Protein backbone atom coordinates (compact mmCIF):
# COMPACT_ATOMS: atom_id res chain seq x y z
CA UNK A 1 0.00 0.00 0.00
CA UNK A 2 1.43 3.37 -0.99
CA UNK A 3 1.68 6.38 1.28
CA UNK A 4 -1.48 7.94 -0.14
CA UNK A 5 -3.46 4.81 0.73
CA UNK A 6 -2.05 4.72 4.22
CA UNK A 7 -3.02 8.34 4.77
CA UNK A 8 -6.51 7.62 3.48
CA UNK A 9 -6.91 4.76 5.96
CA UNK A 10 -5.46 6.83 8.76
CA UNK A 11 -7.77 9.79 8.25
CA UNK A 12 -10.75 7.51 7.69
CA UNK A 13 -10.06 5.73 10.95
CA UNK A 14 -9.51 9.03 12.72
CA UNK A 15 -12.87 10.34 11.49
CA UNK A 16 -14.59 7.18 12.70
CA UNK A 17 -12.93 7.51 16.12
CA UNK A 18 -13.93 11.16 16.33
CA UNK A 19 -17.53 10.28 15.44
CA UNK A 20 -17.58 7.53 18.06
CA UNK A 21 -16.01 9.85 20.63
CA UNK A 22 -18.59 12.51 19.76
CA UNK A 23 -21.44 10.06 20.15
CA UNK A 24 -20.07 8.80 23.46
CA UNK A 25 -19.47 12.34 24.67
CA UNK A 26 -22.99 13.40 23.71
CA UNK A 27 -24.44 10.32 25.41
CA UNK A 28 -22.38 11.01 28.55
CA UNK A 29 -23.56 14.63 28.52
CA UNK A 30 -27.19 13.55 28.11
CA UNK A 31 -27.15 10.73 30.67
CA UNK A 32 -24.48 11.63 33.21
CA UNK A 33 -24.51 15.44 33.52
CA UNK A 34 -27.24 16.65 35.91
CA UNK A 35 -29.65 19.23 34.53
CA UNK A 36 -32.08 21.75 35.94
CA UNK A 37 -33.71 24.21 33.58
CA UNK A 38 -35.89 25.78 36.29
CA UNK A 39 -33.68 27.08 39.09
CA UNK A 40 -36.62 27.90 41.35
CA UNK A 41 -37.83 24.31 41.52
CA UNK A 42 -40.83 22.86 39.73
CA UNK A 43 -43.73 20.49 40.47
CA UNK A 44 -44.55 17.64 38.11
CA UNK A 45 -47.76 15.64 38.47
CA UNK A 46 -47.73 12.01 37.29
CA UNK A 47 -51.35 10.91 37.05
CA UNK A 48 -52.40 7.32 36.73
CA UNK A 49 -52.59 6.25 33.09
CA UNK A 50 -49.98 8.76 31.92
CA UNK A 51 -47.78 7.31 29.16
CA UNK A 52 -44.00 7.43 29.36
CA UNK A 53 -43.93 9.76 26.34
CA UNK A 54 -46.37 12.16 28.02
CA UNK A 55 -44.29 12.08 31.19
CA UNK A 56 -41.06 12.67 29.26
CA UNK A 57 -42.62 15.61 27.39
CA UNK A 58 -43.83 17.09 30.68
CA UNK A 59 -40.43 16.66 32.34
CA UNK A 60 -38.64 18.34 29.44
CA UNK A 61 -41.25 21.10 29.16
CA UNK A 62 -40.80 21.99 32.83
CA UNK A 63 -37.01 21.95 32.66
CA UNK A 64 -36.45 18.85 34.76
CA UNK A 65 -34.58 16.95 32.02
CA UNK A 66 -32.53 18.22 29.12
CA UNK A 67 -34.07 15.89 26.53
CA UNK A 68 -37.13 13.67 26.49
CA UNK A 69 -35.21 11.14 24.41
CA UNK A 70 -32.69 10.41 27.16
CA UNK A 71 -35.55 9.68 29.56
CA UNK A 72 -37.32 7.48 26.99
CA UNK A 73 -34.12 5.52 26.37
CA UNK A 74 -33.63 5.08 30.12
CA UNK A 75 -37.20 3.84 30.37
CA UNK A 76 -36.60 1.37 27.53
CA UNK A 77 -33.60 0.00 29.43
CA UNK A 78 -35.82 -0.59 32.51
CA UNK A 79 -39.08 -1.92 31.03
CA UNK A 80 -40.25 -3.76 34.15
CA UNK A 81 -39.71 -0.89 36.58
CA UNK A 82 -42.91 0.67 37.95
CA UNK A 83 -43.28 4.45 38.05
CA UNK A 84 -45.37 5.71 40.97
CA UNK A 85 -48.21 8.18 40.42
CA UNK A 86 -48.12 11.37 42.47
CA UNK A 87 -46.77 14.89 42.56
CA UNK A 88 -43.00 15.37 42.53
CA UNK A 89 -40.91 18.42 43.31
CA UNK A 90 -37.60 18.93 41.50
CA UNK A 91 -35.42 21.63 43.02
CA UNK A 92 -31.89 20.54 42.11
CA UNK A 93 -30.06 19.29 38.99
CA UNK A 94 -30.56 15.58 38.32
CA UNK A 95 -29.60 13.13 35.60
CA UNK A 96 -32.38 11.34 33.65
CA UNK A 97 -31.58 8.20 35.63
CA UNK A 98 -31.94 10.04 38.95
CA UNK A 99 -35.26 11.54 37.84
CA UNK A 100 -36.42 8.09 36.79
CA UNK A 101 -35.33 6.58 40.12
CA UNK A 102 -37.08 9.28 42.14
CA UNK A 103 -40.37 8.55 40.40
CA UNK A 104 -39.81 4.79 40.66
CA UNK A 105 -39.30 5.08 44.44
CA UNK A 106 -42.43 7.22 44.78
CA UNK A 107 -40.62 10.10 46.49
CA UNK A 108 -43.65 12.34 46.15
CA UNK A 109 -43.70 15.87 47.51
CA UNK A 110 -45.09 16.34 51.00
CA UNK A 111 -44.88 18.79 53.88
CA UNK A 112 -44.89 18.00 57.59
CA UNK A 113 -47.62 19.41 59.79
CA UNK A 114 -46.34 19.20 63.37
CA UNK A 115 -49.25 19.66 65.81
CA UNK A 116 -48.10 20.25 69.43
CA UNK A 117 -50.06 18.78 72.33
CA UNK A 118 -52.76 21.14 73.53
CA UNK A 119 -53.28 22.82 70.17
CA UNK A 120 -56.89 23.66 69.41
CA UNK A 121 -58.35 23.72 65.93
CA UNK A 122 -57.69 27.46 65.67
CA UNK A 123 -53.99 26.85 66.44
CA UNK A 124 -53.86 24.10 63.80
CA UNK A 125 -55.51 26.42 61.30
CA UNK A 126 -52.76 28.99 61.96
CA UNK A 127 -50.07 26.32 61.39
CA UNK A 128 -51.55 25.55 57.99
CA UNK A 129 -50.89 29.13 56.86
CA UNK A 130 -47.21 28.18 56.52
CA UNK A 131 -47.89 25.18 54.26
CA UNK A 132 -48.99 24.74 50.66
CA UNK A 133 -51.73 22.21 51.31
CA UNK A 134 -55.00 22.67 53.20
CA UNK A 135 -56.35 26.20 53.43
CA UNK A 136 -56.88 27.35 57.03
CA UNK A 137 -60.50 28.33 56.46
CA UNK A 138 -61.24 24.96 54.85
CA UNK A 139 -59.72 23.17 57.82
CA UNK A 140 -61.84 25.10 60.33
CA UNK A 141 -64.94 24.28 58.33
CA UNK A 142 -64.09 20.57 58.21
CA UNK A 143 -63.08 20.48 61.89
CA UNK A 144 -66.41 22.05 62.84
CA UNK A 145 -68.28 19.02 61.49
CA UNK A 146 -68.25 16.21 64.12
CA UNK A 147 -69.61 13.52 61.80
CA UNK A 148 -66.21 11.78 61.54
CA UNK A 149 -66.19 11.07 65.28
CA UNK A 150 -69.91 10.80 66.07
CA UNK A 151 -69.81 7.00 66.37
CA UNK A 152 -67.28 7.35 69.20
CA UNK A 153 -68.68 10.52 70.76
CA UNK A 154 -72.32 11.23 69.82
CA UNK A 155 -72.22 14.44 71.90
CA UNK A 156 -69.17 15.95 70.16
CA UNK A 157 -70.02 19.49 68.97
CA UNK A 158 -66.96 19.56 66.69
CA UNK A 159 -63.82 17.48 66.09
CA UNK A 160 -62.03 19.46 68.81
CA UNK A 161 -60.31 17.05 71.17
CA UNK A 162 -60.05 14.32 68.54
CA UNK A 163 -57.52 15.95 66.20
CA UNK A 164 -54.68 14.06 67.80
CA UNK A 165 -51.44 16.04 68.25
CA UNK A 166 -48.74 14.43 66.13
CA UNK A 167 -46.77 15.03 62.92
CA UNK A 168 -48.65 14.47 59.68
CA UNK A 169 -47.51 14.35 56.08
CA UNK A 170 -49.65 16.43 53.76
CA UNK A 171 -49.40 17.04 50.05
CA UNK A 172 -50.67 19.92 47.97
CA UNK A 173 -53.68 17.75 47.11
CA UNK A 174 -54.59 16.79 50.67
CA UNK A 175 -58.08 18.08 51.45
CA UNK A 176 -59.30 19.44 54.76
CA UNK A 177 -61.60 16.45 55.17
CA UNK A 178 -58.73 14.03 54.50
CA UNK A 179 -56.52 15.76 57.05
CA UNK A 180 -59.28 15.60 59.68
CA UNK A 181 -59.74 11.90 58.95
CA UNK A 182 -56.01 11.31 59.39
CA UNK A 183 -55.98 13.10 62.73
CA UNK A 184 -59.12 11.46 64.11
CA UNK A 185 -57.87 8.06 62.93
CA UNK A 186 -54.71 8.63 64.97
CA UNK A 187 -56.85 9.52 67.98
CA UNK A 188 -58.83 6.30 67.57
CA UNK A 189 -55.63 4.28 67.42
CA UNK A 190 -54.26 5.85 70.60
CA UNK A 191 -57.60 5.70 72.42
CA UNK A 192 -57.97 1.95 71.82
CA UNK A 193 -54.83 1.35 73.84
CA UNK A 194 -55.89 3.66 76.66
CA UNK A 195 -59.49 2.46 76.93
CA UNK A 196 -58.70 -1.26 76.84
CA UNK A 197 -60.49 -2.91 79.75
CA UNK A 198 -62.50 0.25 80.50
CA UNK A 199 -65.85 -0.62 78.97
CA UNK A 200 -68.51 2.03 79.42
CA UNK A 201 -66.01 4.90 79.63
CA UNK A 202 -67.59 8.24 78.72
CA UNK A 203 -65.26 9.30 75.93
CA UNK A 204 -66.77 12.77 75.66
CA UNK A 205 -66.25 13.51 79.36
CA UNK A 206 -62.72 12.10 79.46
CA UNK A 207 -61.53 14.00 76.39
CA UNK A 208 -63.15 17.24 77.56
CA UNK A 209 -61.48 16.90 80.96
CA UNK A 210 -58.14 16.00 79.35
CA UNK A 211 -58.35 19.05 77.08
CA UNK A 212 -58.56 21.37 80.10
CA UNK A 213 -55.81 19.54 81.97
CA UNK A 214 -53.57 19.80 78.90
CA UNK A 215 -53.96 23.57 78.71
CA UNK A 216 -53.49 24.15 82.45
CA UNK A 217 -50.06 22.56 82.87
CA UNK A 218 -47.11 21.28 80.89
CA UNK A 219 -45.72 19.42 83.93
CA UNK A 220 -46.52 15.69 83.50
CA UNK A 221 -46.63 14.95 87.25
CA UNK A 222 -49.14 17.74 87.83
CA UNK A 223 -51.72 16.57 85.33
CA UNK A 224 -53.40 13.97 87.61
CA UNK A 225 -53.55 16.64 90.34
CA UNK A 226 -55.19 19.18 88.00
CA UNK A 227 -57.71 16.51 87.01
CA UNK A 228 -58.36 15.83 90.72
CA UNK A 229 -59.05 19.53 91.36
CA UNK A 230 -61.60 19.67 88.55
CA UNK A 231 -63.28 16.43 89.66
CA UNK A 232 -63.50 17.67 93.26
CA UNK A 233 -65.01 20.98 92.17
CA UNK A 234 -67.56 19.19 90.01
CA UNK A 235 -68.61 17.01 92.95
CA UNK A 236 -69.18 20.12 95.06
CA UNK A 237 -70.99 21.92 92.22
CA UNK A 238 -68.30 24.61 92.18
CA UNK A 239 -67.57 26.35 88.87
CA UNK A 240 -64.38 24.99 87.35
CA UNK A 241 -63.07 28.51 86.65
CA UNK A 242 -60.69 27.10 84.06
CA UNK A 243 -59.03 29.97 82.18
CA UNK A 244 -58.47 27.96 78.96
CA UNK A 245 -62.25 27.59 78.62
CA UNK A 246 -62.56 31.38 78.75
CA UNK A 247 -59.96 31.72 76.02
CA UNK A 248 -61.75 29.10 73.94
CA UNK A 249 -65.08 30.89 74.34
CA UNK A 250 -63.43 34.09 73.05
CA UNK A 251 -61.85 32.22 70.13
CA UNK A 252 -65.24 30.85 69.16
CA UNK A 253 -66.58 34.39 69.06
CA UNK A 254 -63.49 35.61 67.18
CA UNK A 255 -62.72 38.19 69.84
CA UNK A 256 -59.72 36.78 71.68
CA UNK A 257 -57.08 39.51 72.06
CA UNK A 258 -54.14 37.56 73.43
CA UNK A 259 -55.08 37.88 77.09
CA UNK A 260 -58.15 37.45 79.28
CA UNK A 261 -60.21 40.58 79.98
CA UNK A 262 -63.07 41.10 82.46
CA UNK A 263 -65.55 40.97 79.58
CA UNK A 264 -64.20 37.52 78.71
CA UNK A 265 -64.71 36.27 82.27
CA UNK A 266 -68.32 37.49 82.32
CA UNK A 267 -69.18 36.14 78.87
CA UNK A 268 -72.21 33.85 78.83
CA UNK A 269 -70.71 31.61 76.17
CA UNK A 270 -71.45 27.99 77.19
CA UNK A 271 -67.72 27.20 77.20
CA UNK A 272 -67.00 29.81 79.88
CA UNK A 273 -66.64 27.84 83.13
CA UNK A 274 -66.63 31.03 85.19
CA UNK A 275 -70.27 31.78 84.36
CA UNK A 276 -71.43 28.16 84.02
CA UNK A 277 -71.04 25.26 86.45
CA UNK A 278 -70.27 21.78 85.25
CA UNK A 279 -68.20 20.73 82.25
CA UNK A 280 -68.03 22.81 79.07
CA UNK A 281 -69.98 21.45 76.07
CA UNK A 282 -66.87 19.85 74.61
CA UNK A 283 -63.06 19.83 74.55
CA UNK A 284 -61.13 23.11 74.36
CA UNK A 285 -57.93 21.62 72.95
CA UNK A 286 -56.51 18.40 71.55
CA UNK A 287 -54.83 16.60 74.44
CA UNK A 288 -51.91 14.21 74.34
CA UNK A 289 -51.61 10.80 75.93
CA UNK A 290 -50.44 12.05 79.36
CA UNK A 291 -53.47 14.30 79.80
CA UNK A 292 -55.85 11.59 78.61
CA UNK A 293 -54.34 9.24 81.20
CA UNK A 294 -54.73 11.90 83.89
CA UNK A 295 -58.39 12.37 83.00
CA UNK A 296 -58.93 8.61 83.17
CA UNK A 297 -57.10 8.29 86.49
CA UNK A 298 -57.10 11.55 88.50
CA UNK A 299 -54.92 11.70 91.61
CA UNK A 300 -56.50 10.80 94.94
CA UNK A 301 -56.32 14.26 96.52
CA UNK A 302 -58.73 16.71 98.14
CA UNK A 303 -57.38 19.83 96.40
CA UNK A 304 -59.88 22.41 95.16
CA UNK A 305 -57.52 25.16 93.99
CA UNK A 306 -54.22 25.67 92.23
CA UNK A 307 -52.19 28.68 91.18
CA UNK A 308 -48.88 29.12 89.40
CA UNK A 309 -45.86 29.09 91.64
CA UNK A 310 -43.61 32.15 91.14
CA UNK A 311 -40.33 31.39 89.42
CA UNK A 312 -41.12 27.68 89.16
CA UNK A 313 -41.03 27.12 85.40
CA UNK A 314 -44.69 26.18 85.13
CA UNK A 315 -45.23 24.41 88.47
CA UNK A 316 -48.31 25.10 90.61
CA UNK A 317 -49.23 25.31 94.28
CA UNK A 318 -52.25 23.17 95.17
CA UNK A 319 -54.61 23.99 98.04
CA UNK A 320 -57.54 22.29 99.76
CA UNK A 321 -59.06 25.41 101.31
CA UNK A 322 -59.75 28.93 100.12
CA UNK A 323 -57.56 30.32 102.90
CA UNK A 324 -54.58 28.28 101.73
CA UNK A 325 -55.29 29.29 98.15
CA UNK A 326 -55.42 33.02 99.02
CA UNK A 327 -51.98 32.76 100.61
CA UNK A 328 -50.65 30.97 97.51
CA UNK A 329 -52.12 33.68 95.28
CA UNK A 330 -50.43 36.40 97.40
CA UNK A 331 -47.13 34.54 97.07
CA UNK A 332 -47.60 34.32 93.32
CA UNK A 333 -48.40 38.02 92.96
CA UNK A 334 -45.53 38.94 95.26
CA UNK A 335 -43.15 37.00 93.09
CA UNK A 336 -44.17 38.95 89.96
- The answer to the question of residue 15 being in a domain is no
Could you give the percent of the chain with pLDDT greater than 90?
Answer: 68
Same domain, 210 and 330: yes
CATH code of the domain containing 88: 3.30.1490.480
Residue 3 pLDDT: 58
Distances in Å between the Cα of 13 and the Cα atoms of 18, 78, 87, 268 are: 9, 34, 49, 96
Residue 21 within a domain: no
pLDDT at 328: 87
Kindly report, residue by residue over 189-241, the tens digit of the pLDDT: 999 999 888 888 999 999 999 999 999 999 999 999 999 999 999 999 999 99
Domain contains 19? no
pLDDT value at 26 more than 80: no
Least confident of 46-50, 113-117, 268-272: 46-50
Asked if residue 20 is part of any domain, the answer here is no
Q: How many CB atoms lie within 10 A of CB 79?
A: 7
Residues 68, 8 contacting (CB under 8 angstroms): no
> Residue 331: which pLDDT band, with cuts at 50, 70 and 90?
confident
* Count of domains for the chain: 3
Residues in CB range of 236: below 8 A, 6 or more apart = 304
pLDDT digits (tens, 9 = 90+) for 276-293: 999 999 999 999 999 999
pLDDT band at 24 (very low <50, low <70, confident <90, very high): very low
Q: Which range (27-41, 54-68, 162-176, 194-208) has the least confidence?
A: 27-41
Average pLDDT taken over every residue of the chain:
89
Q: Are residues 291 and 181 in the same domain?
A: no
**Residue 216 shares a structural domain with residue 326:** yes
The predicted-structure confidence for 118-165, as pLDDT tens digits, reads as follows 999 999 999 999 898 999 999 999 999 999 999 999 999 999 999 999
Kindly report, residue by residue over 166-201, the tens digit of the pLDDT.
999 999 999 999 999 999 999 999 999 998 888 889
> Which H or E run contains 113?
strand 111-114
Show the domain range for 55: 33-109
Amino acid sequence: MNNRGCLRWFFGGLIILLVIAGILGFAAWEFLVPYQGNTGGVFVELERGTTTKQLADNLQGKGVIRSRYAFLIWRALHPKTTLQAGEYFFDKPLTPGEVFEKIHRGQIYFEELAVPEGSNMYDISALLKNLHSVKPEDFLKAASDPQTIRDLDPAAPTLEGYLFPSTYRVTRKTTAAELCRLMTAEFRRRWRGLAEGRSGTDVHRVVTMASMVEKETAIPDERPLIAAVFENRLRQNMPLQCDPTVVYASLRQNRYRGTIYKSDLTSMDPYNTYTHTGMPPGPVSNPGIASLKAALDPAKADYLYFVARPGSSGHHTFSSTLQEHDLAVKAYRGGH
